[in-house]
Amino acid sequence: MRKTIIAGNWKMNKNIAEALELVKDLKIKLEGVADTEVVVCPPFLAVNAVSQLLKGSNIKVGAQNCYFEKKGAFTGEVSPAMLKEAGCAYVILGHSERRQYFKETNDFINKKVKAVLAEGLLPIICAGETLEEREKNIWKEVIKTQITGCLAGFTKEEVSKMVLAYEPVWAIGTGKVASKEQAQEVHKFIRDLVEKLYDKPVAEALRIQYGGSVKPDNVSILMNEPDIDGALVGGAALEADSFVKLVKFEKK
């Protein structure tokens, strides 16, 4: 049985004071939630303060990116070890905004996944097609290339622990959520692909989140699909009340 994982990707929102205000609220309102894993991913500068506040709680902390080198002359970068020390358990890698604005490639993301695992952290690896790619009906090739590239060279044990996130680019921040049929189709495609690349137990263990305009009024419909194991949430994770509703979605 895969444990549902709901993660908030705050992107470049909230300063330290605002971040603490939000997690103070979440800590109280999500106390006792045990059947769903909850993760918040603040901007780098707030990671440490948020981790301190959440110590001993049921909410984990993630970062939104990192670099793959351990240390050295890489101006402006942050290593997995630094994130671990600051209290992170997860790192989001290969988000479409990083692929689009910062030209991240699958090979580059693969190196980061390796570095993150080597530090004992877990990656949330994002993949997803653009609107044009969906309209041209080439989403399978696109996602296959992304997943195969990002997952190259890992052991079965490592892949079993990973979290993948299917995030159709056309659904991110647009209010245009994928239908449950569309999302389930891609999630099943990804799981079958992982089975081909590794094996069935690995594919069955690995969790696949959906991301892209997940809101309190559509979360339950999506989360009850058999291959959707959680959500990676942007906009609706920025307010305590909506994020709490997402975490406490109705299970059917």
Say whether residue 123 binds ligand PGA (CB under 6 A): no
User: Applying CB under 6 A, what is the total number of residues that bind ligand PGA?
Assistant: 13
Name the one range near ligand PGA by CB under 6 A: 28-36, 52-60, 220-228, 232-240.
232-240
Contact characters 146-185, ligand PGA, x per CB under 6 A? ---------------------x----xx------------
Name the one range near ligand PGA by CB under 6 A: 44-52, 102-110, 208-216, 217-225.
208-216
Out of 19, 206, 214, 240, name the contact with ligand PGA by CB under 6 A: 214
Structure-token pair, residue 250: 């109705």
Catalytic residue (choose from 104, 119, 167, 187):
167
- Residue ranges binding ligand PGA (CB under 6 A): 9, 167, 172-173, 211-214, 232-236
